[in-house]
Each structure stands twice: as C-alpha cells, then as structure tokens.
Amino acid sequence: MDEIILKKYAKLVVHTGVNVQKGQPVVIMAPIETADFVRAIAEEAYKAGAKDVHVEWKDDELSRIRYLQAPDEVFDEINSWKKDFNLTNLHNGAAFIQILASDPEIFKGVDVSRIARQQKVVAQELKEYYDGLMANKNAWTIVSVPTAAWARKVFPELAEEEAMNKLWQAILKAVRVDLEDPVAAWKEHTLNLRKSMDFLNSNNFKYLHYKNSLGTDLTIELPEGHQWVGGSEYTTGGVEFNANMPTEEVFTLPKKTGVEGRVVSSMPLNYNGNIIDNFTLTFKEGRIVDYAAEKGLDVLKNLIETDEGSHYLGEVALVPYNSPISNQKILFYNTLFDENASCHLAIGRVYSPCLKNSENMTKEQLLAAGVNDSLVHVDFMIGTEDLEITGITAEGKKVPVFAQGNFAY
C-alpha cells in the first residue's frame, strides 16, 4: 500500500480511534503480516506524545501448529506474563489498538475443543482487563488492514495481488480514509449516528419485535435505564475515542431474561478461525434453549456452552441495510466489517455504558437490572433487506423502527 495512504490511515487510528494523550502508553495487538501498518501507527503515536508503544505480535500459522501439535494440557493454562502485561497497561491508562486481520478459516480442521478450552482460560484470566475495556476505563479501538490469506477468502476468483488491492480499497472506503479529511468525516459521521440514537432514546422502547422472511420472529425486552449509544464514546476520564473503525451501528443491551422467539443468521460468522453458517437460535426467558447450524455446529456449541452467561444475549445493534459497508456488497468474513453491514446481536457480556449509571452499580445491582455477564462477547449478523422491527413502549404503543431493512423514521 502507498506509504502516504498508510500514514493517513495510521493518523486516523491514533487521533480518532484512541485519541492518544501526551505521556500515555499505547499497546498494539497485531498479526505479524501487518508490521508496516503497526510501524506507521507507532510513529504517529509518538508524534502525538505517547510515552511508549508496546506491540504484542500474533502469528496465526504458529497458533495453528500449536493447536495441532502441542500436548493437550497446555490449552488449560496461559503464561502469567500475559495477564500481568494487560493489567499493568490497563491500570497505567494505556490506549489499546487491536488490528483484526486473519485468515477466516485458519483453524479449519483443528480440534475445536482445544480452541474453546484455550479461549475460556484466557477469558477467565483476563476478565478484569476485558471488563475494564467494556466499561470504557481506557480508550480502545479495533481496526483492520488486509492480509493475503484473508484477501484470498474474500475474493477467491482473483489473483492474490489483485485481491489484496481490492480488499485495501474496500477497507479504506469503509473507514473513510479515501476522503480528503478522514478526521472531519468521522466527526460528521458521529453526528449522523446520534440522530438515530436520539430517535431511539426519546421513544424509550420497552420491547423490539423483529421479523423477516428468513424465519426470524424475535421479541427483545429492553431493561429500564437502557440507553442507545454509537459512534464516538468517552472514557471514564473524559477522553473521546472510537471503539470500532469502521462503525455504522447504534446499540444497547437487552434485558437478560427478556428475549423470546427465534432468530436466523443472515451472514456467516468467523469465530476463532472457524466459520459458523446458516444457524438459528431459539430463546425462552432470555436463554438459548435450542440451536442449529448448517456449518460449524460444534463451534457454535462450544461458544454457547462457554459459561452460563453465553446462553444469553449482551447486545442489540441496529444497522440499516442501505449503509456504506452493506452497499459494497462484500462478505468480509470479518465481524468488524460484517457487523457494520447488518443488524446484529451479541452472545455474552454486556457493554456496560449502555445502562445509565452502571459505573456506580454493584455486580448484584447490575444483575438485578437485567445485565448479562460472560467470559465472551460475540456478535452475529441477522439483518436482511426485508427486516421489519417494531418498537413497543411501556404503554403498548407500537412504532415502526425498521421497514424493509432500513430505519423507518
């Protein structure tokens, strides 16, 4: 990729993504294939006044070898340095940047129980870290750039170089780096998202009812005190940041025990290097009581059975079918992009700022308010061109929210 464009993108990540402050540590978690982009981010972070930039490299090929060859017991433990590294940086006020770019099927053929066990122990040991990010104690963002294996999956009909170029262009468009002033474009975008947030918050719906031709017929109760958020957010210390780049969603939390009916996926889900496709979930009193999948059923089973909280939902997100990423008509096999092309839900942990005053509530009070907790938070896509969503107020008034896949207001 052109060096000027790479630096332009890196500048956006540093200033709009995590909004690096003078004297602040920065942590970058990235695949080794994205080294050029990591270096560009590090340079921009230092220019912005970062105290230091720490990089945690990932190598999916090495991880695959480990899952296939390592002795069984290693998947029930993690090295203590990983917990220490994350918690130390969390407590030191670091900004966290994750580059999400991997082969969507890197772990195809790997024993999924090994992956599930490793992911569970990592989530357990790093729960304080993940809870801190989900509570906006630190600025954090997730971004992406192409890798060869990912580009080949998205554009299998193209030669590798052409596929990489095409994926680059799609990503740059999605994050608005193709525009003359991406920072200004993001500010305008945040204001547009707030119009949807204002509509939803002013109506203060008690329920949302979803229905489409795939077979989704689902009612979601929203807890008292819920609020819709989206676009830029603020840390508990008042620093503005954007957690996802790109983002086209506005979202809130469901009441843990208030989900009833059946939902059908509208896109494949890339989870832990395996694809789950054409799956359905059935809910009763909030809990997943039945599920099926045409592909990746064992992966879906391991996800749902991670813990008690992974049997419930933690997020309700609205994205119009007529939106910038959706209109590219590309299946990215990467949740960062696919979730921003489709209405989606999330299994597991709640994003706590979606509940008013959550930062001042005890764990018991959050549970009583209907907040779900889990070791996982996994988004899956349910939006379609014919999706209808009706909002129902506490007084029983019905208001169209989505009609034919888009906001009805």
Give the residue, 216 or 323, on which the prediction is more confident.
216
The pLDDT of residue 84: 96
Express the helix, strand and coil content of the chain in percent, nearest 5 each.
40, 25, 35
Q: Which amino acid belongs to residue 394?
A: A
Q: Distance between CA atoms of 369 and 253, rounded to whole angstroms?
A: 11
Q: What is the mean pLDDT of residues 257-281?
A: 96
Name the one residue in this structure whose structure tokens are 């031709």.
Answer: 213
> What mean pLDDT is reported for the chain?
96
Q: Which amino acid belongs to residue 118?
A: Q
Q: Distance between CA atoms of 289 and 283, rounded to whole angstroms?
A: 6
156-210 pLDDT per residue, tens:
999 999 999 999 999 999 999 999 999 999 999 999 999 999 999 999 999 999 9
How confident is residue 363, by pLDDT bands cut at 50, 70 and 90?
confident
365-390 pLDDT per residue, tens:
999 999 999 999 999 999 999 999 99
Domains annotated for the chain, with CATH where assigned, are 3-174 (3.40.1830.10), 198-231+239-407 (no CATH)
Q: What is the per-residue burial (b if ≥16 Cβ within 10 Å, else e) of 179-205?
A: eeebeebbeebbeebbebbebbbebeb
What the block records as the tokens of 260 is 């009833």
Q: Distance between CA atoms of 314 and 350, rounded to whole angstroms?
A: 4
The pLDDT of residue 93: 97
Give the residue, 96 or 359, on which the prediction is more confident.
96
Region of residue 96 (left: phi > 0; alpha: psi -120 to 50; beta: else): beta
Q: What is the mean pLDDT of residues 39-62?
A: 97
Q: Distance between CA atoms of 294 and 335, rounded to whole angstroms?
A: 19
What the block records as the tokens of 235 is 């840390």
Contacts of residue 272, Cβ cutoff 8 Å, sequence gap at least 6:
107, 112, 115, 116, 119, 299
What the block records as the tokens of 372 is 């779900």
On the question of pLDDT at 1 being above 80, the answer is no
On the question of pLDDT at 16 being above 80, the answer is yes
How confident is residue 212, by pLDDT bands cut at 50, 70 and 90?
very high
On the question of pLDDT at 89 being above 80, the answer is yes
**Geometric angle at alpha carbon 253, from 244 and 309, rounded to 5°:** 100
Closest CA to 17 of 169, 324, 170, 233: 233
Q: What is the mean pLDDT of residues 137-149?
A: 97
Question: What is the phi/psi pair of residue 272, to 5°?
Answer: 55, 45
On the question of pLDDT at 329 being above 80, the answer is yes
The pLDDT of residue 360: 87
Q: Distance between CA atoms of 79 and 225, rounded to whole angstroms?
A: 40
How confident is residue 9, by pLDDT bands cut at 50, 70 and 90?
very high
Rg of the Cα atoms in the chain = 20
Name the one residue in this structure whose structure tokens are 């170029």.
Answer: 165
Closest CA to 130 of 254, 246, 29, 58: 29
Read off the DSSP letter of residue 72.
G
How confident is residue 233, by pLDDT bands cut at 50, 70 and 90?
very high
How confident is residue 52, by pLDDT bands cut at 50, 70 and 90?
very high
On the question of pLDDT at 42 being above 80, the answer is yes
**Geometric angle at alpha carbon 355, from 255 and 342, rounded to 5°:** 70
On the question of pLDDT at 2 being above 90, the answer is no
**Geometric angle at alpha carbon 146, from 145 and 149, rounded to 5°:** 145
Of the candidate ranges 49-58, 142-151, 357-366, the one whose mean pLDDT is the lowest: 357-366
